[in-house]
Structure 1
């Protein structure tokens, strides 16, 4: 490769790595680079680009999570809702649900969802992490989408045992008393049972590192972060983005109800600068 060709490739690769993009993402969106992901890693190892290995986003790893949440104490909640009950359904696609907490300076919390088929990630800002606040998001989404569309999209939800999810009947019961979803719970300390959402949280934490206060966040900020995550291509989707995969299966109206937009591939930024630039 000539010095001119190397400089040209560096001009594409290094700025995107600085924006938190992965080698896979860059190669997928820039076939004109004419190199494999492995080659790109090799060039980075050899110091041929301005970006360095240390600049790459960390790869997610899974460890049993230490439980910092207030857990559901009413054991009757879990009747016919255990992970073993969920496994018997043998579902090919479902929705995973969790919450991500702010630093101790703020009560604000993010309610998150992950669609296992489309790899689509959603997040909604809660002023307090309570059962009522979670129910309010469900009601708001049902109003936007309509009850039957909500039921179609959120038919089965798998979540953890945080106390904010301690009233499954309230979440399952729609505005017109129609059952709009079915809630199931992971086993204790088994966050890997909803591993897709854990991976999405890893991307979220690239923009909002642990210890970040959510006090300054608005839902507009959260939507922006979500749109950048959903505009990142996935190997599991054969290079497609979650947004495009969901557009095919869920449809434009549903994505509009989620307030999602496609981000230009070269503008995708998965670093804290994404929010700093917009304030």
Structure 2
């Protein structure tokens, strides 16, 4: 049952036929609701059309992307989603720690032995975690 709910329930020919109808209308600024109201022969619901557009089904066929949806582009991010994108107001902790500072240090000290470290998380609370060390001059990657 899970497999039947995955992917797109269209053949390439059907997708091309739908794309041929909706592409010029979307570029004129019509919404998917207006398109489907004037073209009931498409035989899909409004939600399905939105899912196809958001899933890039028509991207390669007709160049239709989410940016072609008028309201999608003009909508503001909801308050709930925008809390995840909170920008830090105070950047004092980044003084001397930005990427440009790193590049400047490398240019000033070409013989410096540089090691880059990163932590790979599977789950932030329970792990497992992988600590990686990359030794830049030799190109060796060590993971623990």
TM-score w.r.t. the length of structure 1 is 0.21
TM-score w.r.t. the length of structure 2 is 0.40
| Larger Cα-atom Rg | 2
Larger RCO, structures 1/2 (Cα 8 Å, 6+ apart) = 1
